[in-house]
Amino acid sequence: MKPCWICNLGLMPYDQALELQTRLAFLRYKKAIDDILLLLEHPPTVTLGKFGKIENVLVTEDELINRGISLCTSNRGGDVTFHCPGQLVVYPIMDMRSREGNLRRFLSELEEVVIKVTVAFGVPGERWSEHPGIWVEGRQIAAIGLHFVRGVSMHGISLNVNPDLEAFRVINLCGIAGKEATSIAKMAKKDVNIEQAVELVRESFPTVFEVQLEDISREQVLGDVIG
């Protein structure tokens, strides 16, 4: 199996994570590093993707500020998303040139990783043919948005583990009016924490992507790798 680093970054502002991904993607393109899987949470943040429409943000920018929510633009695909603590974000920085450049398969594999995680909690996550991401009983439990630069993937998938679901009402989820967010904790009707979800991602990701995970610390990534 090919090696893939894995790093749990903890809580990181969205703009900092975007800058980190950009630098890592360049290093991966140069073959200076192996593929790397970033696991993290973001503070409350609304992001607008390349096709994002500001009208899908349902409150004013002043109201976002009052609620302690940042507003960021992003180069990922898709419309508008919401991030907050309690949501596990999975960013694979992977070289598609060594994976036959199959982008559709890559998206499907990311979804499969999350489905394996939700099912492990007794929550039957499923795909919706009309829209990427993972859904449960018509509610979104995971959003997906990708970007590829020089054949290297950026961004990824965000899984609602135990976030404050009321906070998601500041947007039309992925630009779809009337859709609601849900979480593993709500659907499983039990306490679930990020650490449990992280361990399940660690189990499912290497099986789906056929890689060997190798731990690397936050300090190593922010210091030795990109320093």
- The string of pLDDT tens digits covering residues 175-190 is 888 889 999 999 999 9
Annotation says 4 is catalytic = no
Residue 196 lies in a domain: yes
Task: Domain of residue 187: give its range.
Answer: 2-219
Residue 173 lies in a domain: yes
What are the distances in angstroms from CA 107 to CA 17, 20, 92, 95, 167?
20, 21, 11, 14, 27
182: helix, strand or coil: coil
Tell me the CATH number at 180. 3.30.930.10
Helix ranges, 102-224 (H): 103-120, 184-188, 194-209, 218-219
Residue 65 lies in a domain: yes
Asked if residues 94 and 35 have their Cβ atoms less than 8 Å apart, the reply is yes
Residue 225 lies in a domain: no
Residue 226 lies in a domain: no
Q: Which residues of the chain have pLDDT under 70?
A: 101, 224, 226-227
Residue 130 lies in a domain: yes
What are the distances in angstroms from CA 200 to CA 1, 20, 119, 225?
19, 24, 10, 26
Structural domains of the chain, count:
1
Active-site option among 4, 7, 84, 174: 174
Residue 224 lies in a domain: no
pTM assigned to the model: 0.95
Residue 209 lies in a domain: yes
- Give the model confidence (pLDDT) of 139-180 as tens digits: 999 999 999 999 999 999 999 999 999 999 999 988 888 889
